Amino acid sequence: MDATYFMGIDTGTNSSKGVIIDEDCNVVACCSTQHTMTNPKPNHFEHDAEKDWWGDFCRISQGLLKKSGIDPVQIKAVGLSALGADCLPVDEQCRPLRKAILYGIDARAGKEIEQLTSLYGPEQIRRWYGRPLCSSDVMPKILWIKNNEPEVYARTYKFLTGSSFLAAKLTDNYVVDRFLGLASFNPLYDPKTWRPVPELCAPVCRPDQLAKVQEATDLAGYVTEAAAKETGLAPGTPVITGTDDSGAEAISAGVVEPGKMMIQFGSSIYMILGTRHLVDDERLWREQFIVPGLCDISAGTNTGGSLTKWYRDELFSDALEQEKKTGIDAYQLMLEGVDQVPPGSDGLITLPYFAGERTPVNDPLACGILFGLTISHTRRHLYRSALEGVAYSIQQQLRLMESHEDVSIDQIFAVGGGVNNALWMQIVADVTGREINTPDVTVGASYGDAMMAAVGVRHPGFENFSCLAQHIKTGTVYKPDFKKYKIYQKYQAIYDKLYDSTCELMHMMTEEQ
């Protein structure tokens, strides 16, 4: 009897990754590729969907099949995820009409946020979102296209997000999962019927310009003959609807019940905590999660890996040169001596708002700060302070989450490329005073995609999301040093006040530019 396998492919901000797993969730093959995010104007961040999203998907699919030697007919289902929530207008042949406007880091639609807030009223907005409109919402991005690129808007057949586009390219069907549809496109869909609401769509787009809402594990369709030629997959292979990369990564880390939490250390930091009910707090986000019946609180720090990359490129160029000569990863070289810098970086605090900030301030005009800088500080102090600054942001948001009734954090899994930095993970444990776990399988979102593909076709042993928990095993556990935790509490208190003390000046600085 032929073996059975499942494929998962995830498209992120700077790279795409794919995996094939067997029926026991063992990884059979992995593949990845890089792409580039463009920044044509301040606060504008884009991807070329055809080249970066679909091109990566095809290369990875072909690469996985070649590396594994698996017959494509043995792939019983394909799962997919992509960075979310983005805004991509396509024509009737699913051809992108412009580059994709990316998720919350793209803050171009400030005027549209004001326009929609004025139209509906702040209280109605809060009833819909539990918070004010922000750059992570798709509705103002669609309106931006309507206001600024009317010729593109007039030709738009569908407004898609990343996973929707990939599913359409594979199956010719336009779908979006409930997690993204009801949260990121809120309030354009009715939360009870999952259908577009004509009167709410009217100021923004036509109802028929939106994709059909389904569960993430519902079938989007089957691989078409055309898609099979480009991907190497067998025609007729089932494809699930898919979801966003952070949601898929949370599934891969076992966020299938209340109290389970994922902290994703990617280009940005993204946190998802499973909860029993929706929590309204305008400083945070909340949604009905991918898992039916489970809600979540989510939060995001705009810079994580992108901040460490900035330090590498701007302050540790010698590490890059050494990497070229020796093959030793530049990020590992950057850590030399950083562990000798004491907790608190000798009185240096970094506010990591180098690209604006999402939660808890939801301010695209926020700026980064090096607070307490003296002539005695070295670049090692600066780098450790950057790692600590991200940890302070995480702790600030964990406390906000647990301040709500019936919300608890029982287990934290850290995932993403940042977990390769053991010092950073220990700093997060010490700053938060909590155990930080890493999963035994660290492939990430694509691993969750493959697992959800198995759920989608109801493969034996994968009848529902609860069945996935048995496959999530712990790798490394970082235990907090409570002596360091006490030291960090002093700096945390200062960090918590930095934004409020400087936000007016930040906005003045931005206005001057």
Other beta carbons less than 10 A from residue 191's beta carbon? 15
Same domain, 229 and 262: no
Percentage of residues in the chain having pLDDT higher than 90: 89
Q: At what angle do helices 379-402 and 482-512 cross, to 10 degrees?
A: 100
78, β-bridge pairs:
7, 239
- Dihedral Cα 458, 460, 463, 465, nearest 10 deg: -100
- DSSP letter string, 393-431: HHHHHHHHHHTSTT----EEEEESGGGG-HHHHHHHHHH
Confidence class for position 396, pLDDT limits 50, 70, 90: very high
pLDDT at 363 over 70: yes
Cβ contact 75:237 at 8 Å: yes
At which of 219, 246, 273 does a domain end? 246
Which pLDDT value is given to residue 309? 95
Same domain, 72 and 147: yes
pLDDT at 408 over 70: yes
Least confident of 183-192, 426-435, 463-472: 463-472
Least confident of 160-164, 237-241, 379-383, 505-509: 505-509
Question: Does any domain span residue 233?
Answer: yes
pLDDT at 234 over 90: yes
Which pLDDT value is given to residue 513? 57
Question: Does any domain span residue 451?
Answer: no
Nearest to 356 by CA among 109, 115, 186: 109
Stronger pLDDT, 2 or 222, i.e. the higher one? 222
| pLDDT digit string, tens, across residues 342-352 | 999 999 999 99
Which pLDDT value is given to residue 104? 85
Average pLDDT of 332-341?
A: 97
Same domain, 198 and 293: no
Average pLDDT of 213-221?
A: 98
Cβ contact 252:444 at 8 Å: yes
pLDDT at 404 over 90: yes
Average pLDDT of 387-393?
A: 98
Domain that holds residue 345: 256-443+481-513
CATH of the domain at 175: 3.30.420.40
Question: Does any domain span residue 475?
Answer: no
Average pLDDT of 321-331?
A: 96
Same domain, 315 and 190: no
Which pLDDT value is given to residue 267? 85
| pLDDT digit string, tens, across residues 194-213 | 999 999 999 999 999 999 99
Which pLDDT value is given to residue 136? 87
Question: Does any domain span residue 456?
Answer: no
Stronger pLDDT, 416 or 294, i.e. the higher one? 294
pLDDT at 84 over 90: no
Question: Does any domain span residue 452?
Answer: no
413, β-bridge pairs:
262, 437
Distance CA 428, CA 175 (A): 38
Same domain, 150 and 289: no
Average pLDDT of 435-453?
A: 94
Instruction: Give pTM, 2 decimals.
Output: 0.87
pLDDT at 511 over 80: no
Same domain, 18 and 145: yes
Question: Does any domain span residue 471?
Answer: no
Same domain, 182 and 308: no
- Radius of gyration from C-alpha coordinates of the chain: 22
Question: Does any domain span residue 420?
Answer: yes
Same domain, 208 and 105: yes
For the chain, the average pLDDT equals 95
Question: Does any domain span residue 182?
Answer: yes
Same domain, 94 and 231: yes
160, β-bridge pairs:
88
Same domain, 296 and 219: no
Same domain, 238 and 261: no
Confidence class for position 105, pLDDT limits 50, 70, 90: confident
Amino acid at 473: K
pLDDT at 506 over 60: yes
Which pLDDT value is given to residue 512? 57
Confidence class for position 266, pLDDT limits 50, 70, 90: confident
Which pLDDT value is given to residue 470? 87
Q: How many domains does the chain have?
A: 2
pLDDT at 67 over 90: yes
Same domain, 222 and 340: no
Which pLDDT value is given to residue 242? 98
Contacts for 460 with CB less than 8 Å, ≥ 6 apart: none
At which of 200, 216, 246 does a domain end? 246
Which pLDDT value is given to residue 510? 77
At which of 246, 278, 305 does a domain end? 246
